[in-house]
Chains A and B, each alone.
Chain A
Amino acid sequence: MIQLEDLHKSFENKDVLKGISTIFETGKTNLIIGQSGSGKTVLLKCVVGLLEPDSGDIIYDERRLASMDKKERTFLRSELGMLFQGSALFDSMSIQDNVLFPLRMFSELSDSDKVKRAKYCLDRVGLNDAYSLFPAEISGGMQKRAAIARAISLNPKYLFCDEPNSGLDPLTSIKIDELIMDITQEYEMTTVINTHDMNSVVTMGENIVFIHQGEKEWEGNKEELFHSKNQKLNEFVFASKFFQKATDKIYKE
């Protein structure tokens, strides 16, 4: 479980996060949704420790991030896995070497066991035929899957995904969403996903936090999402005409 307590962050007098408090539960896919520029990525970067919040605290299973020393932070980081928006695979390494990288850096397994583990992770995400290929030689969807394989290679307790579906077609997006959900349940992880894709929200939204202009506007799950009377949330959710028509049809039936 990850608990956020009154997080504030500003850049050059511009308040990006204005006192966000919430709980991301273990074994669930927790979604942060909101418009572009609402502060989702900054929030995620604060949670993983890439940015220091101005005030407030982040609690990882009763361990406060603000009071951790360097050693404790390094240990915590070995428990984190992150999937970046652009996959962030290392260009100079093959897909297998990308997955092997965290194992080589932090695992005490033998070399053959590390390779076995990397191959297992790649097989798990369906990339059993891309071991020796380089990131530039595979599609966007395959890159995302490779990044997921790298993120889970060290058996993390917490998985963070920054817009996992950006730049993917709807079918591949669904596959990636399903993969993230399966992995979350399989490894009992606390997964936090940053998205503005409504398909993902409908598929995975077990716990949803809606952020508007740096403030937490609404919190709930995917069932509650469509019955909410929050105007800003409804403007965001029903912005797509296609989505609006589809929900109208369901309600009529």
Chain B
Amino acid sequence: MEKTRALKGLKYICITITNVSGNKSRVKTRFCYTQLLKKRLYKIKKDFLMALLQHVGRYSLLMYQTFSVPQRWKLFLKQTWIEIEKLGADSLQITLIISLFMGAVMTMQIQMNIENPLLPHYTVGLVTRDTLLLEFCSSILCLILAGKVGSNISSEIGTMRISEQIDAMEIMGVNTANYIILPKISGFVLFIPFLVICSMFCGLLGGYFVSLFTDLITPSTYIYGIQYSFVPWYVFYSIIKSVIFAFIISSVSSYYGYYAYGGALDVGKASTNAVVNSSILILLFNVILTKILLT
């Protein structure tokens, strides 16, 4: 009914326009195509918005269910400790390795790209330090951890969902979101500042090794550079950002895992979606937080 009415309206508009212009067929065809394209785009936009709203709504409800008082504090604390070990401590190794090498590479790149003789040599240390503190140790590290921790969380919860373990808990009367998700979020959010500080230290150490084992820069100049004009706020800024990113990674991945359905293939899809969307949200919030905290 609505479709017929819309088509009649479209036809009427086409006829009116052609009568005004005089050039019948060309204008009519062009106008109809534009209308169809507009309609299609409107539908795509509408579908996208509806899907987005649906995700936001379901995510909000899940978080509301998650952030309630634990049914058993003893079990919650035990689970949180396990998650700190699994999500946090187990990520320490990769964090240290990546930070060390990134710090070393960054120092070399900066030294090799500084051609201006007016710039002092200690600039290498200064730029390395600020890049590490401002971006690498929070944003880039969290993007890397979104892959490791995010896929771990979503695949674990997704497998629990499809093997009916979550249903079994619900039958017992357990608040599953609170029991499964809250320890993961709190464990990872609590441990991330430690990872960030270790990453800062290792990144700077990587640069120091470059100064020690190559002739690009002397160790004393590098150390002077990393101490020069130091802003302590950058460390806190990095930690604040990483805490928010850790929340995004753990909650978004839990959301995709919790609502997974089907089989092993769907758990894989949920895992991929979790990593992709966490990464996008991290990048988006990086811009927002930088604007709020640094300007």
Query: Are A77 and B168 neighbours in the complex by a CB distance under 8 Å?
Result: no
Cross-interface CB contact of A86 among B75, B164, B174, cutoff 8 Å: B164
**Contacts of B163 on A, CB cut-off 8 Å?**
86, 88, 91
A84 close to B (CB within 8 Å): yes
Query: Are A84 and B164 neighbours in the complex by a CB distance under 8 Å?
Result: yes
**Contacts of B72 on A, CB cut-off 8 Å?**
104-105
Chain B residues bordering chain A, tally (CB within 8 A): 14
**Contacts of B171 on A, CB cut-off 8 Å?**
48-50, 77, 80-82, 160
Query: Are B167 and A50 neighbours in the complex by a CB distance under 8 Å?
Result: yes
Q: How far is the CB of A104 from chain B (nearest CB, A)?
A: 6
Query: Are A102 and B170 neighbours in the complex by a CB distance under 8 Å?
Result: no
Q: Is the interface of A mostly helix, strand, loop or mixed?
A: mixed
| Chain B proximity mask over A68-79: 1 for CB below 8 Å, otherwise 0 | 000001110110
A106 close to B (CB within 8 Å): yes
B120 close to A (CB within 8 Å): no
Query: Are A105 and B164 neighbours in the complex by a CB distance under 8 Å?
Result: no
A85 close to B (CB within 8 Å): yes
Smallest CB gap from B175: residue in A: A74
Q: How far is the CA of A75 from the CA of B170 in the complex (A)?
A: 12
Q: How far is the CA of A50 from the CA of B165 in the complex (A)?
A: 13
Q: How far is the CA of A140 from the CA of B174 in the complex (A)?
A: 25
Within 8 A of B (CB), among A98-152: 101-102, 104-106
A90 close to B (CB within 8 Å): yes
Q: How far is the CA of A49 from the CA of B173 in the complex (A)?
A: 10
Q: Which of A49, A86, A88, A101 has the largest count of B CB atoms less than 10 A from its CB?
A: A88
B119 close to A (CB within 8 Å): no
B172 close to A (CB within 8 Å): yes
**Contacts of A86 on B, CB cut-off 8 Å?**
163-164
**Contacts of A82 on B, CB cut-off 8 Å?**
168, 171
Smallest CB gap from B174: residue in A: A105
**Contacts of B167 on A, CB cut-off 8 Å?**
50, 84, 88
Q: How far is the CA of A84 from the CA of B167 in the complex (A)?
A: 9
**Contacts of B168 on A, CB cut-off 8 Å?**
82, 84, 88, 90
**Contacts of A50 on B, CB cut-off 8 Å?**
167, 170-171
Query: Are A78 and B173 neighbours in the complex by a CB distance under 8 Å?
Result: yes
Query: Are A88 and B174 neighbours in the complex by a CB distance under 8 Å?
Result: no
Q: How far is the CB of B92 from chain A (nearest CB, A)?
A: 21
Q: How far is the CA of A77 from the CA of B71 in the complex (A)?
A: 14
**Contacts of A101 on B, CB cut-off 8 Å?**
172
A-B contact pairs, 8 of them (CB 8 A): A80-B171, A80-B172, A86-B164, A88-B164, A90-B168, A91-B163, A104-B72, A154-B172
Q: Which 7 pairs, one residue from A and one from B, show the smallest C-beta to C-beta distance?
A: A77-B173, A88-B168, A88-B164, A82-B171, A74-B173, A84-B164, A102-B172
